């Protein structure tokens, strides 16, 4: 019974470790811990408060004020020695004032709409950082897999050449090969060891980058899964349509243009008349008079119309107009960039898919060729030491090329998904 329980616990532990090695796990951790992302979340929260502030333009302002004073006067004796009387004065004052804006040339309405747009923009900027974080984690994750495979392939190659050198020494003693053959094997072993050192160095750099991006330690087992799927368009036209609708940089650029329009309207509204109504009620008490209390109520309507402020308002309108024109030009430029970058991402995605298929075929052929040449060499047939070395080198290169092609293909999917605005934690399966 105890043995069964232990087995189950071990199984569950291993399953959990495997789950924690998934790309989605590291993305979720990074989305939670990324400092820049958390900063953007605070920016979004701030933008929402600005929206609440702008809403206050439509609501009345209420002010309650009060004052209490007590004054004592003490008169000194005059030159004749006669003491003058002292005096005390006590009073209270309370005032309630309510002010309601009636019209401000649509300044308040445009300010509120501007704050709504800025809140949307802050949310999109947050999503943009989220997409960058996902792409960075995916790139670091797949690069770590590739560099781990690269080290494994080179280590295997070193082991093969070590066995070959050992075998060739024995065959040299039997006169089956020449000293030149042995020297070729020893040279290949030295080269394989140099490549292994380089592979270890690259893996260390990749591990460091992985920990920097994810803020997590590299998994001890390095049992990282390459199984991942993203929903992507089937054609370039569909990709362009998605980018036009969902590319975050493009949407932000559109919002910036709309914000510039609201800012221009706000500046124009400053030249318009404004109206407000004010109600106030005050209570005054003077404890030194026979009048206990004096109450006052007033209702006041105010209309103001700025005529001239030294040209400030006109200059502000011109500045906002230039900013609007600038925002429109940037929007057009962003549209062109999105088209170009989408085309580039689609081309890279398709190219990496073709390279992956080509390297897969190359690897299969290299494995078959190496197996045959190795058998022929070990059996003492016509295959030379040089041919065996070349075969193993080709196999090693083919394995590395295929692993690299896998990495590039997987990363290209994430790059395309980001460009067309479809990259999110929920889009990863």
Of 83-87, 276-280, 314-318, 334-338, the one with minimum mean pLDDT is 83-87
pLDDT value at residue 310: 67
Write out the H or E segment, with its range, that includes residue 281.
strand 274-286
Decide if pLDDT at 66 tops 70.
yes
Q: How far is residue 98's CA from residue 63's CA, in Å, rounded to a whole number?
A: 6
Angle (CA) 24-29-32 rounded to 5° is: 125
Place of tokens 């050198």: 165
Q: How far is residue 280's CA from residue 72's CA, in Å, rounded to a whole number?
A: 31
How many Cα atoms within 13 Å fall on the side-chain side of residue 61?
A: 11
Q: Under a CB-based contact definition with an 8 Å cutoff, are residues 241 and 235 in contact?
A: no
- Cβ-based neighbours of 26, under 8 Å, separated by 6 or more: 137, 141, 214, 216
Report residue 406 CA to chain centroid gap.
Answer: 25
Residue with the bigger pLDDT between 58 and 174: it is 174
Q: How far is residue 419's CA from residue 422's CA, in Å, rounded to a whole number?
A: 8
pLDDT value at residue 226: 83
Is 227 strand, coil or helix?
coil
Q: Under a CB-based contact definition with an 8 Å cutoff, are residues 119 and 311 in contact?
A: no
pLDDT value at residue 20: 56
Q: Under a CB-based contact definition with an 8 Å cutoff, are residues 18 and 223 in contact?
A: yes
How far is the CA of 23 from the CAs of 20, 136, 410, in angstroms?
8, 11, 12
State the average pLDDT over residues 36-46: 87
Report the mean per-residue pLDDT for the chain.
Answer: 85
Residue-wise pLDDT tens digits, 1-19: 333 332 323 233 333 334 4
Domain ranges of the chain: 23-62+106-279+317-427
Q: Under a CB-based contact definition with an 8 Å cutoff, are residues 388 and 115 in contact?
A: no
Q: What are phi and psi of 272, to 5 degrees?
A: -90, 155
Q: How far is residue 226's CA from residue 148's CA, in Å, rounded to a whole number?
A: 13
Residue-wise pLDDT tens digits, 127-181: 999 999 999 999 999 999 999 999 999 999 999 999 999 988 998 998 888 899 9
DSSP 87-114: EEEEEEEEEEEEEEEEESTTHHHHHHHH
Place of tokens 């390297």: 359
Of 42-46, 67-71, 83-87, 371-375, the one with minimum mean pLDDT is 83-87
pLDDT value at residue 9: 33
From start to end of 112-199, where are the E strands?
none
Q: How far is residue 62's CA from residue 64's CA, in Å, rounded to a whole number?
A: 7
Decide if pLDDT at 335 tops 60.
yes
CATH number for 23-62+106-279+317-427 (one of 1.20.1600.10, 2.60.120.10, 3.30.420.40, 3.40.50.720): it is 1.20.1600.10
List, in sequence order, every residue forming a beta bridge with 127; answer none if it has no partner: none
pLDDT value at residue 77: 57
pLDDT value at residue 75: 58
pLDDT value at residue 290: 53
What region does 215 belong to: left with phi over 0, alpha with psi -120 to 50, or beta?
left
């Amino acid at each position: 019974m105890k043995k069964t329980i232990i087995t189950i616990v071990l199984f569950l532990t291993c399953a959990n470790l495997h789950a924690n090695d998934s790309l989605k796990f590291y993305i979720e951790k990074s989305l939670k811990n990324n400092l820049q992302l958390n900063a953007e979340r605070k920016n979004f929260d701030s933008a929402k408060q600005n929206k609440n502030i702008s809403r206050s333009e439509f609501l009345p302002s209420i002010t309650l004020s009060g004052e209490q004073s007590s004054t004592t006067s003490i008169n000194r004796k005059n030159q004749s020695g006669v003491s003058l009387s002292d005096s005390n004065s006590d009073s209270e004052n309370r005032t309630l004032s309510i002010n309601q804006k009636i019209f401000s040339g649509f300044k308040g309405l445009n300010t509120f709409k501007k704050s709504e747009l800025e809140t949307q923009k802050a949310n999109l900027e947050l999503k943009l950082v989220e997409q960058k974080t996902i792409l960075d984690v995916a790139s670091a994750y797949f690069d770590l897999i590739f560099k781990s495979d690269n080290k494994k392939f080179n280590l295997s190659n070193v082991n093969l050449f070590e066995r070959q050198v050992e075998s060739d020494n024995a065959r040299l003693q039997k006169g089956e090969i020449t000293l030149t053959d042995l020297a070729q094997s020893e040279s290949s072993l030295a080269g394989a060891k140099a490549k292994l050192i380089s592979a270890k160095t690259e893996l260390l750099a990749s591990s460091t980058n992985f920990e920097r991006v994810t803020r997590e330690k590299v998994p001890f087992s390095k049992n990282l899964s390459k199984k991942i799927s993203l929903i992507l368009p089937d054609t370039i036209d569909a990709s362009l349509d998605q980018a036009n609708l969902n590319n975050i940089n493009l949407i932000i650029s559109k919002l910036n243009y709309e914000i510039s329009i609201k800012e221009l309207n706000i500046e124009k509204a400053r030249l318009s008349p404004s109206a407000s109504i004010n109600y106030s009620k005050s209570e005054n008490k003077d404890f030194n008079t026979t009048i206990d209390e004096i109450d006052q109520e007033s209702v006041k309507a105010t209309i103001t119309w700025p005529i001239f402020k030294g040209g400030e308002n006109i200059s502000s309108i011109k500045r906002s107009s230039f900013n609007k024109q600038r925002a429109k030009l940037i929007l057009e430029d962003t549209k062109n960039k999105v088209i170009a970058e989408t085309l580039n991402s689609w081309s890279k995605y398709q190219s990496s898919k073709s390279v992956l298929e080509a390297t897969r075929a190359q690897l299969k052929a290299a494995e078959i060729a190496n197996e045959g040449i190795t058998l022929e060499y070990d059996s003492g047939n016509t295959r030379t030491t040089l041919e065996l070395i070349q075969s193993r080198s080709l196999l090693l290169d083919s394995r590395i090329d295929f692993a690299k092609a896998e990495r590039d293909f997987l990363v290209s999917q994430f790059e395309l998904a980001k460009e067309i605005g479809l990259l999110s934690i929920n889009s990863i399966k």
